[in-house]
Every structure is written in C-alpha cells, then in structure tokens.
Amino acid sequence: MQDRRRKILKSAIKEYRRTGQPVSSQGLFDRYRFDFSPATVRAEMLALDDEGYLEQPHTSAGRLPTDKAYRFFIEEFYDESLSHDEKEEVRQRMEQLRQNSLREMAQFLADCTRSLAISGSFGRLVDFHEAGLKWLAEEPQSDENDLREMLRYFDSMEEDFNKFFGDIEEEVKIFIGRENPIKYLRNYSLVITGFEDEDEKMIFGVIGPKRMDYRKNMFVLEEAKKKIKNRQ
C-alpha cells in the first residue's frame, strides 16, 4: 500500500477508535492536517473502500474500518508497547485484587478493558466466569440484534470456549470479527490467551468492539495470566 493511502487509513482507524462514529474525509483532513488536499483524501478513501479496508454503512454517512483494516493496522502499527505509566496503572489495579480467583479475575478484566471478559479453567472440574456484558451494551456501535444473538447463546459460552480455545497457546491471540470461530461473536473482536497448569487448561479473554485498544488488552491479559500462575 502506498504511503499516502496508508497514512489516511491509519488516521481513519485512530479517529473511529476515538469517537466510535463513521469517519468523513473532511473530518480527517480537519483533524490530521495532511499535506495534501481534501479532494485527495476523498479519492484515497474511495480507493480504500474499493480495496475492502473501509465501508460505508449508509449513503450519507462517513466510513468505518473493516476487519481487513484492523488486521492491517495491528500488523503494521502495533509493534509499540504501552508506556511505563500505562503499565503501572494496570499493575496497581491488579494489586488491589484480594482473592485471585477466576471469578474476581473476570470482573477485573472486564472493568480494566471495558469489555466482556471471560476466565476459565477446564479439567476435572470446570470453573468458568463471564463479566462485563454492560460494556458491550454501552458501546456506541453495538447493535441490539448483535447483543440479542449473543444472549441467545450465552449459556453455551463455557462449552464454546472450551471447544474452540481449550488448546490455546500462551501467546496472546487476536481474532477480529469474522476470524472468530465462535459465530455469535463475529461482530466483535476477541483477544485471548491461556496456559496449562498440571491437568488444568486456563483461558483468559476479552470480547469487545473492533475499535478496542488491542495493545492495552494484550498487556492486561498477560498480567492476568502471570497473576493466576503465581497465586498460592
């Protein structure tokens, strides 16, 4: 992808992540002060639309990044780590946990990432918890039909995560939209990790809008995994 188009796409994703609203070419030009004209921004956004990186939900609306755009964004621009202060804020919040239980961890993950969170252990006994559905309901782009579809299958979430992610590796994985093997979660993004503890399989994940802060959520899950691994 040429540099100018890459710059516009990156800015469009950043702007949508900031506002949760469709992005217009004029809005991008006004905020990001490109060294080329508004007409050029419009033309490049049309090209990005044709290439499958942007989509227009309504004729009169701006554009939204697609799953393809987010995957490109993560692979091209997400090699930077969080700042020291951002990391310390997460660690300090985690230090306030008292029980180090999977139930408490699910609630922590939900509140820290403002997403639906899951934490689970699968072995001789199953200990699976969800928390934070309210965060999805408050997301500006959440659709009532999407939430209703998720609630239809909510009781089977434990089984589905064990089925599709029971053998997840320790490396944090990102599934964007249609990449998710769980069909009723395909309008969201899933960040997930896990590890084996003797005969137990542990998984931790957050489900949220595609505009989520992937870097932060990856770090939060890594810290959660360390916390549970080191519990007494």
Residue 215 has pLDDT above 70, yes or no: yes
Choices 3.30.450.40, 3.40.50.720, 1.10.10.10, 3.30.70.1090: CATH for 84-229: 3.30.450.40
Tens of pLDDT, residue by residue over 186-213, are 999 999 999 988 888 999 999 999 999 9
Question: Cα(132)–Cα(157) distance, rounded to whole angstroms?
Answer: 14
Distance of CA 50 to the CA centre of its chain: 25
pLDDT at 5 over 80: yes
Q: What is the pLDDT of residue 11?
A: 94
How far is the CA of 39 from the CAs of 7, 13, 35, 36, 43, in angstroms? 15, 19, 12, 8, 6
Regarding predicted confidence, which is higher, 77 or 84?
A: 84
First-to-final CA distance of the chain = 50
Fold of 3-77: Arc Repressor Mutant, subunit A (1.10.10)
Provide the pLDDT for residue 1: 72
Out of 4-13, 56-65, 182-191, pick the least confident.
56-65
% of the chain residues with pLDDT over 90: 63
Contact 51, 2 (CB under 8 A): no
Global pTM value: 0.89
Kindly indicate the confidence band of residue 88, based on its pLDDT and cuts at 50, 70 and 90. Answer: very high
Which pLDDT tens digit goes with each residue over 99-150?
A: 889 999 999 999 999 999 999 999 888 999 999 999 988 887 777 888 888 8
Domain ranges of the chain: 3-77, 84-229
**Residue 111's closest CA among 89, 126, 127?**
89
- Express each pLDDT in 158-189 by its tens digit: 999 999 998 888 899 999 999 999 999 999 99
